[in-house]
Amino acid sequence: MAKIKRHNPEQIIRKLEDADRRLTAGQNISQVCQILEISEGTFHRWRNQYGGMKAHEAKRLKELERENARLKKMVADLMLDKELLKDLAEGNL
């Protein structure tokens, strides 16, 4: 089984820029993906997610996504605590 390689946002942006140069030069998507060592599905997913972004923008996006996930978890934990305290105050526990 092949080892899965993870790319950081800066690497993805660089690969997308390289892909654009190669596509403009006349190579087709399958050739470009083979050179970049990614699948066509990955290429299209990256293009949809990062298309037109600069490396620093992509890095900031990932940071914001991580922060958002952390905050959502905190809110969920607080909601559980609130429900527990509400039940305790009503004498349901």
* pLDDT (tens place) for every residue of the chain, 93 residues total: 566 778 888 889 899 999 999 999 999 999 999 999 999 999 999 999 887 778 788 888 889 999 999 999 999 999 999 999 999 998 876
User: In which domain, by residue range, is 26 found?
Assistant: 9-90
* Residue 24 falls inside a structural domain: yes
* Residue 58 falls inside a structural domain: yes
pLDDT digits (tens, 9 = 90+) for 21-36: 999 999 999 999 999 9
Number of domains in the chain: 1
* Residues 75, 62, 23: CA angle, nearest 5 degrees: 150
* Residue 44 falls inside a structural domain: yes
* Residue 33 falls inside a structural domain: yes
* Residue 50 falls inside a structural domain: yes
* Residue 2 falls inside a structural domain: no
CB atoms within 10 A of CB 65: 10
* Residue 4 falls inside a structural domain: no
* Residue 18 falls inside a structural domain: yes
